[in-house]
Amino acid sequence: MSTRLNFLVYLFLFSATGLFANDRDGLPIVPKPQQGTIAETYITFDNEWEVYIDPEAKEASDYVTSVLKECGVQARFTARKNSADLILDIQQKISKNREAYHLSVYKNRKIRVLAVSRNGLLYALQSLRQIISRSGNGITLPVCRIMDEPAFPWRAFMLDESRHFQGMETVKKLLDEMSYLKMNIFHWHLVDDPGWRIEIKKYPELTAIGSKRDFSHRDLTLEQWNKQFPERKMHYSQDEIREIVRYAGERGIQVVPEIEVPGHASASIAAYPWLGASSKLQGSGIWGDLYDVTDPKVEAFIRDVLDEVITLFPSKIIHIGGDEANYTHWENNPQIIQFMEDTGIPTFADLQVWSINRFSKYLESKGVRMMGWNEITGDNIRGEAHLKASQSEKLAEGTLVHFWDGDIILINKAIDEGYDVVNSNRHYTYLDYSYEVTPLEKAYSFHPLPEELAKEKASKITGLGCQMWGEYTPDLTRLYYQTFPRIAAYAECGWTKAENKNYDEFRNRVKNTEHRWRKMGYLNQQPAYSVQDDTFTLRQLPSQSGGTGSF
């Protein structure tokens, strides 16, 4: 059947369903669709469906089967589109947005999805699962039509596993909920001071030594750790990384790893002290040290690490951190000072930009884009005393700047210099902050486009990320409490246009999702303490049942 004839049939079937109310708000879908109409008619389906899936998306068949099974539907795939109960069709002409989809439920017990891409089909599936109700041995759906696409292409959740290691089972559960909310980037913070969590075959000590501690036990020596926790493994093998990347990809999620340079490197420097600006002088690892980026051997080490990381992650984006570098370690190394004098690098901020540019160009030569926290621009974003001068060097073209702190002026500056920006303003998007500091309503109020941003620059903001930092997430109770339900608010901030958002209406729509999370154990418990802000001040909380009672 031609595309034009398909579209005419689509319109005819919808015209036969009767009058519709323009009522997106009546659809209990999170994030909120851009356009939706719902009739007062509900249709009951059998619980066995014939499903047609476009050949371009056939690799998604197993995931489609699993989602429908969770909804009480047994799927049988068919190559005959006309006889299918559920049609999952790719038609690129419906929108210029690669993630767009149309979902229609008809009175004649047909469900049709048109999507620009495989990911669009998956997003339609998530919307469908949220409006399905079980009715005896059958399935009930409202007659409806949804035309939907995301406001921003970057909708990320970050998990910090350096400070506290969570493991594959937990990561997969979080990926399931990301897909449920149509979030498409898993930012995986695998490397930081407390622990190195990814196997690098060329440097086995990174995991043999660098993975052995976490934030709660950062003061233990390796010998003390091995005595207390002899069997505990706290890193991912490369095969485990591949499995998580596969699992995420099946759900339409790209995995972006973070490998910190030049700071937050204590774990790797503990394994190989010659990497550190101060540690190489002492002969043993020093907490908070920086890589000696002027040493060709250190640069070769970082390139070797990046080479192995590139082979594991098909997203073609690597986050190199770049934040909170304590330049005192460079300042106290005579060889680094001499290098700066010989090469004419005037400030330590310039040295950081110089080194990061070298890695950016190296990644570019491998077909990979570099991303980093906004200190990589060389700006002193928090007025820190140890940053004695700003930079004159400029970042390499194509770098993706991840804004987390500082004045909004810095976003404008980065855009003026040609960079794309992901907005993760910590005052709104840090999931480790308490609900007293960032209540659900404040999280929902976040808009990736700052009010101070000129309209012509809006296209340079690619989206947002919400960050689950791990200093005080030693167990799943704390991790889930901090994450749910705020992750739903951030998902809607990234998907739904600002003018279509309404907090009271969101709270009503999210009830079904919260019910799901209670059944799964994500909202059932509250920890005994609260992390107030980025100073990590702890406050005792009274006993409280339920995860959302005081939000």
d(CA 50, CA 84): 5
Checking if the pLDDT of 543 tops 60, the result is no
Residues 179-197, mean pLDDT to the nearest whole number: 98
Burial of 218 (0-12, 13-18, 19+ CB in 10 A): middle
Q: What is the pLDDT of residues 284-297, one digit of tens each?
A: 888 899 999 999 99
Could you report the per-residue pLDDT of 304-321, keeping only the tens digit for each? 999 999 999 999 999 999
CB atoms within 10 A of CB 107: 14
pLDDT-based confidence at residue 548 (cuts at 50, 70, 90): very low
Domains belonging to the chain, first-starting first, are 3-148 (3.30.379.10), 154-519 (3.20.20.80)
Among 192, 292, 492, 514, the active-site one is 192
Q: How far is it, in rounded angstroms, from Cα 137 to Cα 134? A: 7
**Average pLDDT of the residues in 333-356:** 94
What beta strand segments (E) does 47-108 contain? 48-53, 74-77, 86-90, 101-105
List pLDDT tens digits, range 430-475.
Answer: 999 999 999 999 999 999 999 989 889 999 999 999 999 999 898 9
What per-residue confidence (pLDDT) applies to 439? 97
Does residue 399 contact residue 419 with C-beta atoms inside 8 Å? yes
Among the ranges given (322-331, 405-414, 520-529), the one the predictor scored with the smallest mean pLDDT: 520-529
Give strand pairing partners of 468.
159
Please tell me the predicted confidence (pLDDT) of residue 249: 98
The predicted pLDDT at position 6 comes to 44
Mean pLDDT along residues 264-268: 95
CA distance 374 to 475: 30
**Residue 301 clears pLDDT 50, i.e. is over it:** yes
Is 324 part of the annotated catalytic residue set? yes
Residue 264 annotated in active site: yes
Helix axes 168-180, 511-519, angle to 10 degrees: 160
pLDDT in tens, 108-157: 999 999 999 999 999 999 999 999 999 888 899 999 999 999 999 999 99
The whole-number average pLDDT for the span 69-87 is: 97
CA 32 to chain CA mean position, Å? 19
Contact 318, 310 (CB under 8 A): yes
Q: Judge residue 518's burial from the number of C-beta atoms within 10 Å of its C-beta, 0-12 exposed, 13-18 middle, 19 or more buried.
A: middle
Q: Is the pTM of this model over 0.85?
A: yes
Report, as an integer, the average pLDDT of 345-359: 91
Percent over 90 (pLDDT), the chain: 75
Q: Which of 164, 187, 264, 329 is catalytic?
A: 264
Of residues 193 and 16, the one with the higher pLDDT is 193
pLDDT of 253 over the 50 cut: yes
Return the pLDDT at 8: 39
Please determine, for residue 542, whether its predicted confidence score (pLDDT) is greater than 70. Answer: no
**pLDDT higher than threshold 60 for residue 2:** no
Q: Is the pLDDT of residue 7 over 90?
A: no
278: left (phi over 0), alpha (psi -120 to 50) or beta: alpha
**Exactly one of 324, 505, 533, 534 is catalytic; which is it?**
324
One-letter amino acid for residue 216 of the chain: S
Averaged pLDDT, 354-361? 92
Q: Give residue 284's pLDDT.
A: 82
User: Is the pLDDT score of 350 beyond 70?
Assistant: yes
The reply to whether 192 belongs to the active site is yes
SS3 39: strand
For the chain, what is the mean pLDDT? 89
SS3 sequence of 217-257: HCCCCHHHHHHHCCCCCCCECHHHHHHHHHHHHHCCCEEEE
Average pLDDT over residues 86-100: 98
Band (pLDDT 50/70/90 cuts) for residue 230 is low
| C-alpha dist (Å) from residue 2 to 5, 15, 94 | 5, 20, 14
